[in-house]
Amino acid sequence: MSVVSGSATTTRPRRLDEEGLPFDDDTTPNPFRAIADPAEVEARMGIVIVGHVDHGKSTIIGRLLADTGTLPDGKLEQIKDLCARTSKPFEYAFLLDALKDERAQGITIDAARVFFRTPKRRYLILDAPGHVEFLKNMVTGAARAEAALLVLDAGEGIQENTRRHAYLLSMLGVRQIAVVVNKMDLVGCRQEAFDAFARDLGAFLATIDMTPAAIIPVIGREGDNLAMRSATMSWYTGPTLLEALDAFRSQGEAVDGPFRMPVQAVFKFTNDGDDRRIVAGTIDSGRVRVGDEVVFHPSGKRTRVKSLEAFNRVAPSVAGAGESAGFTLAQQIYVTRGELATLAHEPQPVTATRIRASIFWLGARPLEVGRSYTLKLGTARVSVHLEHIERVLDASTLESVTDRVAVVRNEVADCVLKLRHPIAFDRAAELAATSRFVLVDNYSISGGGVVREALRVEAHASRSGSGATVALRPGVLWLTGERGAGKSALARWLADRADRSGARVEVLDDDTVGALFPVGASRTEQDLRVRRLAWFASRLEAHGAAVIVAVDSPEDDARRYARSVSSELVEIHLHAAPEVLATRGAARDVIDYEAPLQPELRLDTGRLSLDEAGAEVIAWLQEWSSQS
């Protein structure tokens, strides 16, 4: 075994005094610095280190830092001094316990970052905690990693957390893994004991479709098989930990897949004299070139890329996965944050309002059937409703339990989610990056998951439904669509079927409010008219009325304003093919109608009869009032 202290790499002479630096005697240099040398290196690789509490992760990292000469001058001595003063035996783990309350608690509480490098490349080690309470920090670390080290204790073997961590790594998409069997001295450094471990672990990992790149017997405290080959375990011929790290492949970015870019924002800085309208986002997969035809989902709008934009460098002609990009469009179409940009000639994503997903839950409050959450996928946000839990997977045994109505912290489950409006995504089996989402409960990210597939929306009302009635609640039903889409007719149809047991109904269309709110000539006047109407509708709503608005409202901004002033607004988008609109004799609009991105309901009035469209609205309203 190697010598613990006094090695030449950790006790360089300190030069602070000679250099005349102040406060040198109790300076607190930090262990998280990269020690640079001019050697050629690849970009930094993120490695997450996970394992059960007390299995020795921090010790292994501390020892690696010391043995690779990555510690700043004096750090090791400083920690040893502190241990001597407080009468605690020195441990390499203390190097990482940079926070006072960590030392008090004795466990690592967060995914700390540690930078270090080998001659081959630089690493960012994400130290994920083993304590069961802190699983969310492990997820944070693992999600940033290209490879993982799974640490287990030779004296204790495969624990519940070992299995759980391995399963989560596979779900989070970390496919490269090396297993570190620590504290081999507890089993007498015997090869038979190690082989038994390797067998059991390999068998378990195979069930979750993971193959370890290496299984390494080490003694973290002594440094055996970390940076240096162990003399005690000469029977082991595989790689040391450092060799295993260097053997991981940098996965790079998924430039070969179909182009996917969630739109972060559309920038226009007109006030600064800049007329470019730039669609910006980070590319999740694939590439985009100037001239490509892009399609935005779920709106389905399409046009060509006019230019790629950049600051302080020559505008590129192509941008690929991993890049924060920006491009202008050949035509002025209305797109906004939340849409997914794709290329017309490549495989398209799925758009749906009902999905099956695998979810891991991190929240203190359970995930419950019947409750609503916010789902964030890419840059899209949507209110969702947990419809059904198909099965809960016990992450340690991988056995499934059915008939559950809640998923508690640290569990993994397959669930059915109902989305309030459609979003675009890919199935996990096809494109991982755009299948991943998080669930927000009460302001905090409480779970994550991947979409397995889109599901059909089950019909709750008969399509014939002309005899159905509905008890409307106070609120605003906002019908929008191009001229001729059938807004006013549907508004009247709904008003006629409003049940007497519900709220009083007011229809605001051009017939009723035309005189009070005259149609303006310019776009600005029209916009102002819609905002006035929106405010008026919200006042009626506040007095208990169910308000059905059916006027031209081509601007998304104005409709957003309507949503912001109303306490409960349901936006219904009526659309029909241009040929259909033409047959209805509607004057062709010169205005650019901005279709709503996230309406509660979309109805194709070219295909549906008025009765069918009305029945859809009633069915939707009934379903939502039963859920909230």
Partner 1 sequence: MSTTIAAPATSRASRIDHLDQLEHRSVHLLREAYASFPQLAMLWSIGKDSTVLLWLARKAFFGHVPMPLVHIDTSFKIPEMIQYRDRLAAEWRLTVIYGQNEDALAAKQTFPDGNVDRLTCCGNLKTEALRRTLSGEGKRYRFDHTLGKYVVDTNREPYTGVIVGARADEEGSRSKERYFSPRSGENNWNIADQPPEFWNQYATEFAPGTHVRIHPLLDWTELDIWEYIERERIPTVSLYYDQGKGERYRSLGCWPCTKSVVSDAKDVQEIIVELKSGRYANIAERSGRAQDKDDGGGLESLRREGYM
Residues designated as active site: 553
Nearest to partner 1 of 112, 294 (CB atom): 112
The reply on whether position 486 binds partner 1 by CB under 8 A is no
Is the separation of the CB atoms in 283 and 277 below 8 Å?
no
Q: Tell me how far apart the alpha carbons of residues 422 and 353 are, in angstroms, rounded to a whole number.
A: 5
Is the bond preceding residue 298 a cis peptide, omega within 30 degrees? yes
Please report, to the nearest 10 degrees, the dihedral formed by the alpha carbons of residues 324, 329, 335, 339 taken in order.
-40
Q: Which of 11, 27, 383, 400 binds partner 1 (CB under 8 A)?
A: 27
15 binds partner 1 (CB under 8 A): yes
**Closest approach of Cβ 15 to partner 1, in Å?**
7
Q: Tell me if 275 contacts partner 1 by CB under 8 A.
A: no
Which residues between 237 and 266 bind partner 1 (CB under 8 A)? Answer: 264-265
Select 442 or 628, whichever has its Cβ closest to partner 1.
442
The count of residues interacting with partner 1 (CB under 8 A) is 83
Among 1, 2, 34, 483, binds partner 1 (CB under 8 A): 34
Tell whether residue 16 is a contact of partner 1 (CB under 8 A): yes
Q: Is 40 in the site for partner 1 (CB under 8 A)?
A: yes
Kindly tell me which residue out of 53, 54, 115, 185 binds partner 1, with binding defined by CB under 8 A.
115
Counting contacts by CB under 8 A, is residue 83 touching partner 1? no
Q: Does 429 bind partner 1 (CB under 8 A)?
A: no
Determine the length of the chain: 628
For residues 14 and 35, give the distance between their C-alpha atoms in angstroms, rounded to a whole number: 16
DSSP per-residue letters across 66-111? HHTT-SPTTHHHHHHHHHHHTT----GGGGT--SHHHHHH-S--S-
The helix (H) or strand (E) run that includes residue 178 is strand 176-182
Within residues 43-72, the interface with partner 1 by CB under 8 A covers 43-44, 72
Residue 200 contacts partner 1 per CB under 8 A:
no
Q: How far apart are CA 319 and CA 261, in angstroms?
A: 11
Q: Which amino acid is at 182?
A: N
Which of 48, 61, 93, 139: binder of partner 1 (CB under 8 A)? Answer: 139
Residue of 1, 53, 143, 247 that binds partner 1 (CB under 8 A): 143
Among 4, 99, 132, 398, binds partner 1 (CB under 8 A): 99
At its nearest, how many Å lie between partner 1 and the CB of residue 611? Answer: 41
Comparison of 137 and 566: residue with beta carbon closer to partner 1: 137
Q: Using an 8 Å Cβ cutoff, are 594 and 554 in contact?
A: yes
Q: Which one among 4, 98, 344, 405 touches partner 1, defined by CB under 8 A?
A: 98
Residue 139 or residue 415: which is nearer to partner 1 going by CB? 139
Cβ neighbors of 128 (< 8 A, separation 6 or more) are 48, 49, 50, 57, 111, 137, 138, 140, 141, 142
119 Cβ neighbours under 8 A, 6+ residues apart: 39
Q: Applying CB under 8 A, does 312 fall inside the site for partner 1?
A: yes
Give the burial class of 564: count Cβ atoms within 10 A of its Cβ; 0-12 exposed, 13-18 middle, 19 or more buried.
Answer: exposed
Is residue 17 close enough to count as binding partner 1 by CB under 8 A? no
Choose the stretch contacting partner 1; rule: CB under 8 A; options: 139-147, 158-166, 343-351, 588-596.
139-147
If the CB atoms of residues 12 and 607 are measured against partner 1, the closer one turns out to be: 12
CB 67 within 8 A of CB 167: no
Closest CA to 483 of 323, 349, 593: 593
- What DSSP line would sit under 392-427, residue for residue? EE-TTT--EE-S-SEE-TT-EEEEEEEEEEEEEE--
CA distance 333 to 156: 62
Indicate whether 270 belongs to the interface with partner 1 (CB under 8 A).
no
Residue 438 makes contact with partner 1 by CB under 8 A? yes
Shortest Cβ distance from residue 20 to partner 1 (Å)?
Answer: 6
Q: Which of 180, 184, 278, 608 binds partner 1 (CB under 8 A)?
A: 278
The dihedral region occupied by 52, where left means phi > 0, alpha psi between -120 and 50, and beta the remainder, is beta
Q: Kindly state the smallest distance separating residue 217's Cβ from partner 1, in Å.
A: 30
How wide is the angle at C-alpha 297 spanned by C-alphas 292 and 298, nearest 5°? 160
**C-alpha span between 401 and 403 (Å, rounded):** 7
If the CB atoms of residues 194 and 425 are measured against partner 1, the closer one turns out to be 425
Nearest residue (CB) to partner 1, 15 versus 88: 15
Answer yes or no whether residue 404 interacts with partner 1 by CB under 8 A: no
Give me the 442-481 binding string for partner 1, x by CB under 8 A, dash otherwise.
Answer: -xxx--x---------------------------------
557 near partner 1 (CB under 8 A): no
Residue among 259 and 620 whose Cβ is closer to partner 1: 259
